Structure 1
């Protein structure tokens, strides 16, 4: 059993795990910021504008014929 190779392998595994956790943490923070922004927009008086941006094809035409 090569102790040096085992130590290097464990070290690489630890670095990979720490990098993965750091990326996941940044992703979660970004998602929280997006959710907060979305909630702020939904609570604002610009709900109609937000809905129009999300679905611009709705509400543009009114059929008045019978």
Structure 2
């Protein structure tokens, strides 16, 4: 399993195919992401799983929110 979601998984998650629209949707969903060298959003699989409640026995779920200065809006 890859560390990051694939492009097709991000399309499925956001419902968007264009990278700028994906970025906007991820920000609206409060999902933590970064931007790769080509301008595409990258989402850590582990972060998304914990945000959506897929918790394993060795971790605990916590709410994570970005401060306004941490939020990438393009």
Bigger Rg, which one: 1
Q: TM-score, normalised by structure 2?
A: 0.20
Q: Which has the higher contact order (CA 8 A, sep 6+)?
A: 2
| TM-score when normalising by structure 1 | 0.22
